[in-house]
């Protein structure tokens, strides 16, 4: 491990030296590329530097304890070596985690798509509730949420809603949300107080940049039509709604929320690129089956990952057997991080176990 850490530290220094040269400093794109690479390993390098400082301190404390004859000085040296031994052990744990292979998508912005499933209007209403929870969670992180496409039912719910979250390391947090989310509660229209079970699906896609994925214009079929609101009524007198079909894969995206056809087309292309990139990466992941099995959540939309039980004020994540009796606070977004933290920890543990077995 030490050799690997020394190599990473050397690479970090090399990147910083390059950014200090006129050639790189005068080229914004190249500078940003090196800056991003350096930022990605800075935490690891900083932790390693502190590890080396504490390691040297421990050697000094050991030497003092062995050679010092004064009882008070020996006691002080003994306390210091014990304290530094604990710190070094913690450094080693963190360094092992930081050395785990990183998901190349972790730093990307994210497209999230919520779709109502079993449960009719109640599922659509829960789509709206979960969208609000995600938006509030994003707000606590300082991220920006932009709605890309909606299909409303007219009573405050969504048959489908797609939105983009922009910020630092968004995908690293949202990627665990993909799958089936089940809700158990008494609908507002239920007169006898019976608890109904509904479900929605969540798809989480890293945003695909144009440079990552080339889509030929000849592979696209673009149709325009008039936007419609809940119930099908026309809400626009111009053909501003856009439907884009990627002919090779059959992937279809519609956008009608904006009054501008140009804006709807741009949003539809954002979703389309991300969906196609996700399909490509899913195929690659299936070929790396061992790595796939190490992940806490595969992002498979058919996998039931979480239950929200309102009568019991309970949220249960079935992948890691985590149950929290603070549903209201979680749906307000403020305590959503606790769910994410549990999934991050479990994912790291699974990857470390896989690495050890290899």
CA separation (Å) from 159 to 120, 136, 150, 181, 198?
9, 20, 8, 14, 13
Beta strands 241-246 and 220-225 are antiparallel
Asked if residue 298 has pLDDT above 80, the reply is: no
pTM score above 0.85: no
- The DSSP bridge partners found for residue 162 are 113, 149
Q: CA nearest 96: which of 47, 148, 50, 38? A: 47
Quote the DSSP letter at residue 209. Answer: P
Which residues make up the CATH 3.30.70.1660 domain(s) of the chain?
Answer: 110-351
CA separation (Å) from 214 to 155, 211, 217, 269?
40, 7, 9, 12
pLDDT for position 216: 84
DSSP-assigned states of every residue in 63-115: HHHHH---HHHHHHHHHHHHHHHHHHHHHHHHHHHHTSPPPTTTTS-EEEEEE
Q: How confident is the model at residue 292 (pLDDT cuts 50, 70, 90)?
A: very low
Quote the DSSP letter at residue 177. Answer: G
Q: 110-351, which class in CATH?
A: alpha beta
Beta strands 179-185 and 304-309 are parallel
Those residues whose C-beta lies under 8 Å from the C-beta of residue 115, and which sit 6 or more positions away, are: 127, 159, 160, 200, 201, 202, 203
Those residues whose C-beta lies under 8 Å from the C-beta of residue 349, and which sit 6 or more positions away, are: none
Q: How confident is the model over 112-130, as a mean pLDDT? A: 93
Quote the DSSP letter at residue 219. Answer: G
Structure tokens at 98: 């930081």
Residue 120 sits at the vertex; the CA angle it makes with 119 and 126, to the nearest 5 degrees, is: 70
Sign of CA dihedral 136, 181, 290, 274: negative
Higher pLDDT among residues 226 and 301, named by residue: 226
Q: Within 10 Å of residue 211's Cβ, how many Cβ atoms?
A: 6
Q: CA nearest 308: which of 137, 191, 133? A: 133
pLDDT for position 210: 64
Asked if residue 331 has pLDDT above 50, the reply is: yes
CA separation (Å) from 178 to 91, 174, 181, 245?
32, 8, 9, 23
Q: How confident is the model over 38-44, as a mean pLDDT? A: 88
Which tens digit of pLDDT belongs to each residue from 209-226?
Answer: 765 677 888 888 888 887
- The percentage of the chain sitting over the pLDDT mark of 70, rounded to a whole number, equals 89
Q: How confident is the model over 10-14, as a mean pLDDT? A: 93
CA separation (Å) from 161 to 24, 129, 130, 131, 232?
42, 11, 11, 8, 17
CA 113 to chain CA centroid, nearest Å: 13
Q: CA nearest 264: which of 158, 147, 166? A: 147
pLDDT for position 287: 57
Residue 181 sits at the vertex; the CA angle it makes with 322 and 193, to the nearest 5 degrees, is: 95
């Amino acid at each position: 491990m030490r050799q690997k850490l020394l190599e990473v530290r050397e690479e970090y220094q090399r990147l910083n030296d390059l950014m200090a040269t006129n050639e790189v400093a005068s080229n914004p794109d190249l500078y940003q590329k090196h800056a991003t690479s350096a930022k990605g390993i800075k935490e690891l390098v900083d932790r390693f530097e502190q590890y080396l400082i504490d390691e040297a301190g421990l050697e000094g404390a050991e030497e003092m304890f062995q050679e010092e004859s004064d009882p008070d000085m020996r006691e002080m040296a003994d306390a210091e070596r014990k304290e530094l031994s604990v710190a070094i052990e913690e450094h080693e744990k963190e360094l092992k985690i930081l050395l785990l292979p990183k998901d190349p998508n972790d730093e990307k912005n994210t497209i999230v798509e919520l779709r109502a499933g079993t449960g009719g209007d109640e599922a659509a209403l829960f789509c709206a509730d979960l969208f609000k929870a995600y938006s509030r969670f994003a707000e606590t992180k300082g991220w920006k949420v932009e709605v890309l496409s909606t299909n409303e039912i007219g009573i405050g719910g969504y048959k489908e809603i797609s939105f983009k979250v922009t910020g630092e390391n968004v995908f690293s947090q949202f990627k665990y949300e993909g799958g089936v989310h089940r809700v158990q509660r008494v609908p507002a229209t239920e007169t006898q107080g019976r608890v109904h079970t509904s479900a929605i699906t969540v798809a989480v896609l890293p945003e695909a940049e144009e440079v990552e994925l080339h889509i030929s214009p000849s592979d696209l079929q673009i149709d325009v039509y008039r936007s419609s609101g809940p119930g099908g009524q026309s809400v626009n007198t111009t053909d501003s709604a856009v439907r884009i079909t990627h002919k090779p894969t059959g992937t279809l995206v519609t956008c009608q929320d904006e009054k501008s056809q140009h804006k709807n087309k741009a949003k539809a292309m954002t979703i389309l690129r991300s969906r196609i990139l996700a399909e490509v990466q899913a195929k690659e992941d299936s070929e790396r089956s061992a790595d796939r099995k190490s992940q806490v959540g595969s992002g498979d939309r058919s996998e039931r990952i979480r239950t929200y039980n309102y009568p019991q004020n309970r949220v249960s994540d079935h992948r890691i057997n985590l149950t929290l009796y603070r549903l209201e606070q979680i749906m307000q977004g403020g305590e959503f991080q606790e769910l994410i933290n549990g999934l991050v920890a479990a994912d790291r543990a699974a990857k470390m176990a896989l690495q050890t077995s290899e």
